[in-house]
Every structure is written in structure tokens, then in C-alpha cells.
């Protein structure tokens, strides 16, 4: 079974779905570490309660290179082989991505290549799109770029605001991410 490290910045609901799915016999992976750039992230407390190793460090005051070196060290100490970003709201440096090339995946709440970056749901509604969704992709130096490994779609319904649409997409994120991660660690 592959050892996965999950990086979060907040709530961590995708992290929770990855952890829950990892408990299945055929998941193909175990979650070895949950790390965050936000020591107060709600997801960290949840992971600790589950008995999962956690690591928290803010880049504030120490700078990005020192911060990323510490995260890298924590991941390697935990034996992590694959990194899953789950609501991790920071851009990883080219150096960090190079050290883990092809071994970092991310979930993004849009049908990539549409709507890279923030405010994906509001932008999809404003554009008059009929559908939205989420994508799991390999992380490269470019924001929300890299090979798309899987996507799920939902309809955009009349009267949707960003909150309503985000909730509909999130249900699909929780289903898609564990499925794609299981396929990814096997390939
Ligand atoms: C999720 O919708 C995820 O797709 C999105 O943030 C949310 C995190 O929720 N990620 C991004 O926007 C990445 N740029 P969670 O903490 O409950 O998983």
C-alpha cells in the first residue's frame, strides 16, 4: 500500500473522505501524514483524533523556502510517497514540485481547463454554463495545470448561487478523489 501525505489549509472535508476510503481493504493507500500551513485548520484536529500523524507550520515569519523544506522533511520522515493536496490554498514552488515530480495530485473545483484559480463556482455561473464539476490532476509548476486524472460533472440549476453550486460539487469531490487516488497509486 502506498503511503500518502495530505496537505490541507482548512476544513479538510476532502481529506476526511480520503482517510475514510483508505480504510477499505482495496484502497491501495494509507494516509501517513496530514500537514497544514494553517496550525488552526479544523481538519488537523480531526486527523489527530483519528490517530493520524499531523504536522503544522505557518510560512509566516520563516519564508517560503524554509517552510517548504520543513514540510518536505516531515513528509519524507513519515515515509510519504504520494502527496494529495486537499484544499491546500498555497502555490507550491517549482523546486518543491521538482522534488516530487509526478507524485503530487490535487483536487480543483472546476472542469479543468476551465476556471483555474479561485472563485470557480461564481465564474461558472456568471458565464452561463450549464454544468460545473471537479477535477483531480497531477500538480506541475503551473497553477491548476498538469494531466487531468479524473473529472465529475454536476448541473448548474436555475437560481444557483456559488454556495449552492459549491455544495453540489463538493459531494462529487468526496466521491471522485478517493477513486482517482486509488487508481493513481496503482498505475
Ligand atoms: C474544495 O472544494 C477543494 O476542491 C477546493 O477547496 C475546497 C476545500 O474544501 N480547492 C481549491 O480551491 C484549490 N485551489 P475541504 O477543505 O473541505 O476539502
90 lines ligand 1 (CB under 6 A): no
Residue 5: in which H helix or E strand, if any? strand 2-8
CB distance 38 to ligand 1 below 6 Å: no
Q: Determine whether the shortest distance from the Cβ of 151 to ligand 1 is under 6 A.
A: no
Q: Global pTM? A: 0.98
Q: From atom 5 of ligand 1, which residue's Cα is the shortest distance away?
A: 87
The protein residue whose alpha carbon is closest to atom 16 in ligand 1 is 12
Q: How far is the CA of 3 from the centre of ligand 1 (A)?
A: 22
Complex-level ipTM: 0.99
List Cβ neighbours of 147 (8 Å cut-off, separation of 6 or more): 137, 138
Question: CA-CA distance, 12 to 32, in Å (whole number)?
Answer: 16
71 phi/psi in degrees, rounded to 5: -65, -45
**What burial letters (b/e) apply to 49-59, b meaning 16+ CB within 10 Å?**
eeebebbbbee
143 is in an annotated binding site: no
Q: What is the pLDDT along the chain (187 residues), one digit of tens a residue?
A: 999 999 999 999 999 999 999 999 999 999 999 999 999 999 999 999 999 999 999 999 999 999 999 999 999 999 999 999 999 999 999 999 999 999 999 999 999 999 999 999 999 999 999 999 999 999 999 999 999 999 999 999 999 999 999 999 999 999 999 999 999 999 9
Amino acid at each position: 500500500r502506498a503511503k500518502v501525505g495530505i496537505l490541507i489549509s482548512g476544513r479538510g472535508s476532502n481529506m476526511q473522505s480520503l482517510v475514510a476510503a483508505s480504510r477499505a481493504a482495496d484502497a491501495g493507500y494509507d494516509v501517513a501524514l496530514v500537514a497544514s500551513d494553517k496550525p488552526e485548520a479544523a481538519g488537523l484536529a480531526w486527523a489527530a483524533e483519528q490517530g493520524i500523524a499531523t504536522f503544522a507550520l505557518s510560512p509566516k515569519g520563516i519564508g517560503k523556502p524554509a517552510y517548504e523544506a520543513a514540510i518536505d522533511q516531515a513528509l519524507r520522515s513519515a515515509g510519504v510517497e504520494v502527496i494529495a493536496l486537499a484544499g491546500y490554498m498555497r502555490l507550491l514552488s517549482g523546486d518543491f514540485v521538482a522534488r516530487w515530480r509526478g507524485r503530487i495530485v490535487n483536487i480543483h473545483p472546476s472542469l479543468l481547463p476551465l476556471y483555474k484559480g479561485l472563485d470557480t463556482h461564481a465564474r461558472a455561473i456568471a458565464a452561463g454554463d450549464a454544468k460545473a464539476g471537479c477535477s483531480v490532476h497531477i500538480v506541475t509548476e503551473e497553477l491548476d495545470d498538469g494531466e487531468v486524472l479524473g473529472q465529475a460533472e454536476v448541473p448548474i440549476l436555475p437560481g444557483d448561487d456559488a454556495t449552492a453550486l459549491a455544495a453540489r460539487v463538493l459531494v462529487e469531490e468526496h466521491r471522485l478523489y478517493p477513486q482517482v487516488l486509488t487508481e493513481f497509486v496503482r498505475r
